[in-house]
Amino acid sequence: MRYFSLTALSLMFALSACVYEPEQFVESEKGENSNSNNSVTDMGTLYAVNDGKQICNPSVSQDSKNYPASMLWLNFGGTLKVKTPDSVYTTSKVVQHDRLSVSDTSGKVLWYLMRDTEAGDCQFQDPEWSTHPNYIVALRAFNSKGESGCKESDMDYGMFAVRMSDKKKFFFYDKEMSEFATPHLWVDADAEHDTTAADDTVEGFFGTDQVRLVYVNKKDEIVFVNYANGGTKSAKTLKKPSGVDGWMMDSPMISPDGNFVVYNMINSSMTGWKSYIQELSENSKPIEIEKSSGMISEPVQPRWFAYAERLFVMWTEFPQGSQFVNKNDLTEVSVQDGSAGRTAMREVSLVAGAPSDLAFAWTGDVVEIAPIPMIGGRSPDGRFVATGTNLGFLLELP
């Protein structure tokens, strides 16, 4: 997802994913790795992730077996406050966006990927758990001039998947990606990696050619790549919604069946937004997720949630005039009443390839998940929702 900074706004309203520097974390008097900020409430138990102002790009775990009660996140610079798995994962003198971390409600890091400085890695950007539990997609920055150092103006970006089981990478694009591409990856749920296969092909790396990728290009368009049907050479661009000229495209997320996306359109001040559902087809029309009675605002940060053959779209709502970059301490009782925003979902029925009037239908009413804003998705078992902008949290639902 994208985050603005005041500097970026002054420069032709440019966007930047997590480029602002938060306040550096200061050790609590309650001791290292304390979970003292955990909060038991009527809405569930709220766990502080990292217990400091260090979290962006939250993505709830899609692997409830190997990484339960966890989330993927990107760090800022300074000091991290987590339970480290080994001596490689340092917590002091951390460089901004130098690792991908998966940590749980106890503060323990269960999995991580450090940047490879020898390979020229400058930073990671826009990590997101794929629809398959064994894969994550992200961007990797490097110095486009081939020089040492990671000056922001000299950075170029590539886009890669990482296999969690062995931390091997597969690059979809080596360069010329936007820093704000916010990619998402769909992999056939039944795919199993063949350890004897070559990792330099899509089918070898993923165990299938049923792989689909979406991202936002430099023209603010959603690009759809189907690796079972031509791959990058046959990439398609989706039609953009009307009436939102000058707004930014953000965070396309592929549905569990691989046939649709949900995404944001956001104005330059981040105080206005709209969300859409759209089939992954060159001629498909965007369908706005409209605000209905009882909603605080237009929906933002839409995500899919599938459970027991049922499909939902979940989203966040914020009070009028707020930005969806939420920096509230959600353990404060004063913001647990919906005043900082809320998380909701609605069941939906989708039919790929159908006429537009039959392809989409809501099958239920809007249901509140929690009276706080959680933008990082819901775990496959339905137990946890995640969030993070400076402050990261996992909420265990009752």
Here the tokens at position 331 are 């353990």
Instruction: Look at the block and give the residue holding tokens 């959603």.
Output: 222
Q: Count CB atoms within 10 A of the CB of residue 357.
A: 7
Instruction: Give buried/exposed letters for 159-176 (b at 16+ CB in 10 A, else e).
Output: bbbbbbeeeebbebbeee
Query: For residue 136, what are the β-bridge partners?
Result: 129, 162
Per-residue pLDDT of the chain (398 residues; tens, 9 = 90+): 655 443 333 333 334 455 444 554 444 433 344 445 688 989 999 999 998 889 999 999 999 999 999 999 999 999 999 999 999 999 999 999 999 999 999 999 999 999 999 999 999 999 999 999 999 999 999 999 988 889 989 999 999 999 999 999 999 999 999 999 999 999 999 999 999 999 999 999 999 999 999 999 999 999 999 999 999 999 999 999 999 999 999 999 999 999 999 999 999 888 899 999 999 998 999 999 999 999 999 999 999 999 999 999 999 999 977 777 778 899 999 999 999 999 999 999 999 999 988 999 999 999 999 999 999 999 999 999 999 988 999 999 99
Q: List all residues 6 or more positions away from 90 whose beta carbon is below 8 Å from its beta carbon.
A: 84
Q: List all residues 6 or more positions away from 199 whose beta carbon is below 8 Å from its beta carbon.
A: 168, 170, 205
Does residue 91 contact residue 82 with C-beta atoms inside 8 Å? yes
Which amino acid belongs to residue 39?
A: S
pLDDT recorded at residue 11: 34
Here the tokens at position 65 are 């077996």
Q: List all residues 6 or more positions away from 114 whose beta carbon is below 8 Å from its beta carbon.
A: 88, 89, 98, 99
End-to-end alpha carbon distance in the chain? 28
Q: Where are the beta strands (DSSP E) in 211-267?
A: 211-216, 222-226, 236-237, 248-254, 260-266
Q: How many helices (H) and strands (E) does the chain have?
A: 3, 23
Collapse the DSSP code of 309 into the 3-class scheme (helix H, G, I; strand E, B; otherwise coil) and give the result: coil
- Judged by phi (left if over 0) then psi (alpha if -120 to 50, else beta), residue 242 lies in beta
Q: Measured at the alpha carbon of residue 181, what is the angle toward residues 376 and 124, in degrees to the nearest 5?
A: 70
Instruction: Look at the block and give the residue holding tokens 């400058």.
Output: 122
Instruction: Read off the DSSP letter of residue 333.
Output: G
Give the strand order in the sheet containing 236-237: 184-187, 211-216, 222-226, 236-237
- C-alpha count within 13 angstroms, C-beta hemisphere, residue 21: 9
Phi, psi of 243 (to 5 degrees): 80, 5
